[in-house]
């Protein structure tokens, strides 16, 4: 199984890893797309006024321009440690055992706007770029990423894909129809969709999986594991989607 996670706008700064090397990231066939976005962000950062407008930054966020300028030379952190925010705080990967972190690396891809899907422990610098940003010198990110990412997912051929991404990031790399997959929505027992608890519930789900480290190759197997864990995963009204049900 592969789990697709969205990134977070908020990130932990610094790091002790070597500078970015796109050749070591998961799905290496995406290196041309990664290099193109990184080069465009570095170039954009040379014009602070334009960068601020394009990235929609407040005065307090101007440090993100410097982060983008240093993308090729800044220290890195494992991707799952780089991101903060509701989902990643709930996942709390830093408190997991070494075995659970290895499981995350083998089974989780975090889908970012500049790097595409990367494995949980792949080394990333801090950056600023959202899925819907129009970057000068690049086509729309959806057009830049969608077809190459879908092809990379097909080539990887995971037996089952659990898609926990937001719709904006799912659009950057749709899971091909010939790959068994399920797109997860978090709802209450009454079927009401959630926002904040959507992210938290997804983080807790991935943490539970990392703790148990099950062998899952299908939605049925995921449901059996979830039932043993006291989790409710039920069919959604839309084909190809599953609902993670949490208490009201």
pLDDT of 195: 67
Backbone angles phi, psi at 81, to 5 degrees: -95, -25
Q: Is 28 helix (H, G, I), strand (E, B) or coil?
A: helix
Share of the chain above pLDDT 70, in %: 98
More confidently predicted of 192 and 238:
238
Q: What is the mean pLDDT of residues 119-138?
A: 97
- Residue written as tokens 């129809």? 177
Tens digits of residue pLDDT in 94-117: 999 999 999 999 999 999 999 999
pLDDT grade for 188, boundaries at 50, 70 and 90: confident
User: 10 Å Cβ neighbour count for 90?
Assistant: 17
- How many Å apart are CA 112 and CA 117, to the nearest integer? 6
Strand partners, 109: 4, 119
Tens digits of residue pLDDT in 141-180: 999 999 999 999 999 999 999 999 999 999 999 999 999 9
Burial tier of 167 (Cβ tally within 10 Å: 0-12, 13-18, 19+): exposed
């Amino acid at each position: 199984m592969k789990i697709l996670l969205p990134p977070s706008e908020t990130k932990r700064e610094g790091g002790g890893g070597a500078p970015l090397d796109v050749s070591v990231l998961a799905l290496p066939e995406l290196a041309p797309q990664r290099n193109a976005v990184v080069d465009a962000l570095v170039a954009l950062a040379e014009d602070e006024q334009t960068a601020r407008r394009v990235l929609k930054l407040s005065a307090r966020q101007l440090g993100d321009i410097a982060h983008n300028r240093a993308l090729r030379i800044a220290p890195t952190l494992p991707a799952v440690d780089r991101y903060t925010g509701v989902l990643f705080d709930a996942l709390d990967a830093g408190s997991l055992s070494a075995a659970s972190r290895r499981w995350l690396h083998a089974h989780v891809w975090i889908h970012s706007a500049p790097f595409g899907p990367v494995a949980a422990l792949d080394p990333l610098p801090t950056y600023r770029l959202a899925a819907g940003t129009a970057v000068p010198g690049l086509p729309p990110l959806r057009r830049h990423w969608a077809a190459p990412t879908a092809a990379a997912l097909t080539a990887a051929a995971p037996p089952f894909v659990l898609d926990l991404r937001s719709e904006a990031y799912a659009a950057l790399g749709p899971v091909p129809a010939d790959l068994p997959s399920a797109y997860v929505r978090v709802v209450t027992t009454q079927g009401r969709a959630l926002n904040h608890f959507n992210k938290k519930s997804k983080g807790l789900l991935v943490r539970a999986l990392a703790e148990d480290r099950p062998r899952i190759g299908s939605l049925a197997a995921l449901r059996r594991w979830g039932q043993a864990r006291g989790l409710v995963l039920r069919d959604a009204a839309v084909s190809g989607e599953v609902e993670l049900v949490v208490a009201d």
